[in-house]
Structure 1
């Protein structure tokens, strides 16, 4: 089975891309069984449940007007027979980090009973950007990261099969940046952010992408400006982290750049991990 994350930078604008991409994967016989979206930029009442269900997917969403917003989309035929609707598909849902007061919709978690395997706890996450290391937004980011770590530690005790997917707004190593010298000390690559990423891994999580040999300068985000994508001036800031139990089942992890070539694309590309059922 395949799980994925994609910052769509406005689901209202990018819904045709999401549907097209999911359908393309089906045609290739490489379907996406669960897709975690970030930056919906729409409220819950505007979320396209009906369009996605017509395409064969059930959804859970945590929306917000203009900013943020996360969702979990699950392929109906990938579900265990007991899960016939959203109420039974998404078990123990959590919206935002418990005991952390925050109006920004950045976390959505649910346990999904997939057919032929033990359930998986999926966490769709949109990490704060941080703006710059000397800003209030950066202080918020570091505080948010600490709260996330505490909560994830608790989640991992309860759910051994857990995947954290999304836009982390952190490039964990220099190899994840097109020009490390130019970015040195800046937001997304600063030591405090990278340390926070490592602390998440130390909870017992693994960066699925780095489990496998990858081509150099493989990125998931490119700035719209200055022909960033054409020049491959990008960063790898979208990740799928797996708990130990899922790491043992992971057979592939890739970034699909094709949707970034489409007209009016998101500035992010989908990231995908393949999990063996056996």
Structure 2
């Protein structure tokens, strides 16, 4: 089973890129973030034509998440992260696909920090940690997938000294990520590539992609029942090199 995540950074403006990548990479499950489109503008017909069922939670101009599954319809199990009934941002959606629970998330950026946006990010991390434990308690195959907007260690960022005060790298956020891992989740890419600098995001400015001045902020967290079958993980950097592409590249794993 090949699982993938891709912050598309505007699904309608980059639909051709998405469809090209789906044809080339043929993932079984895809988590998308930053749709930047309301529900009625999600391009479900084009995605269905490409062979994928889909569920999505859109939001006008910002955020938005979706789960695509090849050849089957994902069964929606949740459309928001528990813990705050007033949080209406499109940042979490969940489905059952071929016996695996897939949680697709777009964790808040949090900048500028400190400030209200950073406080919201920390509250969101707390809610995620609580719900992640609930998922682990099910003792079934679960994957939490998406753009976590956190670089867990110095290895996950080009020139870490320049990012110390950024909301993606502040110690509070890295501690929150580490606390989730401590519950028993496996960081799939780092498990298979423990000492390698691998990035999933490169800013548009200063030729960051050409210089490989990137960040690893997209992650797969696997429950023990799923992590035991982890076989491979990688980044489709070629997608980031395409014209008018997202500033993220797709990240994928293979599990037995």
Q: TM-score range by the shorter chain?
A: over 0.9
Tell me the SS of whatever aligns to 1:222. Answer: coil
Give the match for residue 7 of structure 1: 7
Provide closer, same or farther for how the CA distance between residues 99 and 134 of structure 1 changes in structure 2, counting only shifts above 3 A.
closer
Q: Does 1:64 align with 2:22?
A: no
Q: Distance in 1 between matches of 2:87 and 2:188?
A: 29
Provide the residue aligned with 1:98 in structure 2.
82
**Deviation, structure 1 residue 250:** 0.5
Name structure 1 gaps, 5 residues minimum: 26-30, 80-85
Cα displacement string for residues 110-154 of structure 1 (whole angstroms, at most 9, x for unaligned residues): 111x2xxxx000011000000032111000000111011111211
Structure 1 runs of 4+ with >2 Å offset: 213-217
CA distance in 2, matches of 1:110, 1:213: 28
Give the Å deviation of 1:20: 0.2
The answer to whether the Cα contact below 8 Å between 1:121 and 1:159 also exists between their aligned partners in 2 is: no
Aligned 8 A contact 2:139 2:225 in 1: no
1:149-200 C-alpha deviation (Å, 9 max, x unpaired): 1112112223521001100000000000100111123221110000010111
Q: Which runs of 5+ in 2 are unaligned?
A: none
For 1:54, the equivalent position in structure 2 comes to 49
TM-score (norm 2): 0.96
Equivalents in 2 of 1:105, 1:69: separation in Å?
A: 5
Partner SS state of residue 133, structure 1: coil
Structure 1 segment 128-277 matched on structure 2, within 5 A: 128-158=108-138, 160-213=140-193, 216-276=196-256
In structure 2, C-alpha distance between the alignment counterparts of 1:275 and 1:210, rounded to whole Å: 15
In terms of mean alpha carbon deviation, does 66-75 or 43-52 score higher?
A: 43-52
Is the contact made by 1:6 and 1:270 (CA closer than 8 Å) also made in structure 2? Answer: yes
2: distance between equivalents of 1:256 and 1:203?
A: 29
Q: CA RMSD in A?
A: 1.3
How many residue pairs get aligned? The number is 255
What TM-score, normalized to structure 1? 0.89
Query: Are 1:38 and 2:33 matched, yes or no?
Result: yes
Q: Which residue does the alignment assign to 2:107? A: 127
What secondary structure, in the 3-state scheme, does the structure 1 residue paired with 2:82 have? coil
Structure 1 Cα separation of the partners of residues 213 and 45 of structure 2: 37
1:253 deviates by 1.1
